[in-house]
A and B are shown apart, each in its own frame.
Chain A
Amino acid sequence: MIRSWIRQHRRAFAHSLAKLVAHKSTMLLNALVIGVALALPAGGYALLASLESLTVRLAPEPQLSLYLKGDAARAQIDAISVKLRSDARIAGWRFVSRGEALAALRATEGLAEVVAALGENPLPDAFVVRAKATAPEALEVLARDLQQLPAVDQVQRDSAWVRRLAAITATGRIATGVIALLLSVGLVAVTFNSIRLQILTHAEEIEVSRLIGATDGYIARPFYYLGLVQGALGGLVALGILAGALAALNVGVRNLAAAYGSAFELGFPGFGDAAGLLGFAALLGWLGAYLSVSVHLRRTP
């Protein structure tokens, strides 16, 4: 029984490969279409994965900056120090005087002349506070409480840009998902059509086979394999395009990252992701073939 099942599938697979070879130029063009269409969301996914790894790497300790009012008195600063010391939600803090802040700004490359042109120090005194909690809600509450302290002008959450980047990548992930979904529908349609043409090419053979005892499964199986193989070939093309595009992009990305003292580069999807892409492409190919064959068999008595 199992041997028979294997024999049937082996025969169907061989038939599908024969069809593939017989129409290789059409099949390769279809694989190219599938590959190009899949490379777009796959590239987006690879880009987002690289950005996400960057945000994880750069995510600092939860930190808040308390900027004091320009007229804050020494006594008020001391009172804030006491308050911070006694707050159980705070892991540590340091005071940065307006003089220290100006010196740090002056030491920043390219800003010395700007600072010199200012005439007087516009920077406020500040406390840099490290919170124990990392949850955005807890940080929000702490920031609100610290904002109530006398002489505090503004509280700024220093990890905000990382959160913004994370939000951007999350949005990008949704956008990539939507694009992938739309393109997947398109790819199923492409496979549906190419398999439909194959069915029409073999219409006589199919009809004769059915008349003399072929089951729907026997008729359909080679087309399922054809869709599967075509989809997988499209997946391979997509991976090739992705590798080439990332290699080209990384030349520029490495230079840009080096300017910021970083060794960041866009990473090629790992083995699991690459295998997933191939599997997904093959699945789309099979689905297109399944729909195409089902429609044909349903329409013919």
Chain B
Amino acid sequence: MISFSAVSKRYPGGQQGLQEISFTLEPGEFVFVAGRSGAGKSTLLKLIPAIERPSAGTVLVNGQNVGALRRAAVPYLRRNLGLVFQNQRLLYDRSVYDNVALPLAFSDHSPREAERRARAALDKVGLLGRERARPVQLSGGEQQRLAIARAVVNRPSILVADEPTANLDIESARSILEIFVAFNQVGVTVLIATHDEALIEGCGRRVLRLSAGRLQP
């Protein structure tokens, strides 16, 4: 479960990122965070894995107060979250397999178990057979699938994705969305930030609308 309670975020320069945001995401929900560029979508998503800390209010993730977490506890929070970043953050000097297996290295699975999980994750996103390829050899859509495979390889209960369909054609965007829907159908809580209204409309899910850092009614 994710719960925001009167959360505000002000950056050191004085810029207000979020103001008095409150909402709750129940386990197994699929929710969009919508809004124009600069509305605060990325800031909101960054508060969940403690990439940013709230200036005020409380962010609870699976019962943990993220704002009060010690630095040493943050990695363990992140291992239980599946994070898909806006620009994917793939390692372009590594193979597809190495990118997917990266989170398993710190979760300390045996090599055999790590390989099994990595292959399973690649299979779910349709990239099995491309293990040896480099990310640059993949299309934009495939790179996004690879980022999703890396996010789900640790079997997280919550999947958080920031603009996962940005710069993709409509067909690729739809297929990416279908992957998230498939994960949601097996009980994974999904939170996707997007400015693509067409994507949201066709999906019929709950939407949190942000404007200038405030949640719209």
Contact = CB atoms under 8 A, between A and B. Distances in A.
Interface of A: 4, 7-8, 11, 204-205, 207-216, 218
Given A204-B91, A208-B102, A215 B108 contact: no
Given A212-B83, A212-B150, A213-B107, 17 more contacts: A204-B91, A205-B91, A207-B89, A208-B89, A210-B75, A211-B49, A211-B83, A211-B85, A212-B79, A212-B102, A212-B103, A212-B151, A213-B75, A213-B106, A215-B106, A216-B72, A218-B106
B11 interface: no
10 contacts: A204-B89, A205-B91, A208-B102, A211-B49, A213-B106, A213-B107, A213-B154, A214-B106, A215-B72, A218-B75
B23 interface: no
B51 interface: yes
Contacts of B89: 204, 207-208, 211
Nearest to A15: B105
A208 B150 CA distance: 11
Contacts of A4: 108
B75 A214 contact: yes
Contact of B76 (A8, A207, A213): A213
Contacts of B78: 211-213
Contacts of A215: 72, 75, 106
Contacts of A214: 75, 105-106
A215 B76 CA distance: 8
A210 B51 CA distance: 10
Nearest to A216: B72
Interface in B87-109: 89-91, 102-103, 105-108
B102 A209 contact: yes
Contacts of A218: 75, 105-106
Interface in B146-197: 150-151, 154
A8 B75 contact: no
Contacts of B91: 204-205, 208
Contacts of A216: 71-72
Contacts of B75: 210, 213-215, 218
Contacts of A210: 75
A72 B75 CA distance: 93
B50 to A, nearest CB: 10
Contacts of B105: 11, 214, 218
A222 B135 CA distance: 24
Nearest to B154: A213
Contacts of A11: 105
Contacts of A8: 108
A175 B51 CA distance: 51
- The residue among A4, A8, A207, A212 with the most chain B CB atoms within 10 A of its own CB is A212
Contacts of B150: 212
Contact of B108 (A7, A204, A211): A7
B79 A213 contact: yes
Interface in B48-98: 49, 51, 71-72, 75-76, 78-79, 83, 85, 89-91
A214 B75 CA distance: 6
A211 B106 contact: no
A51 B142 CA distance: 72
A209 B104 CA distance: 11
A212 B91 CA distance: 13
Contacts of A213: 75-76, 78-79, 103, 106-107, 154
A4 B85 CA distance: 29
Contacts of B154: 213
A229 B150 CA distance: 32
4 tightest Cβ-Cβ pairs between the two chains A and B: A213-B79, A213-B78, A215-B75, A214-B106
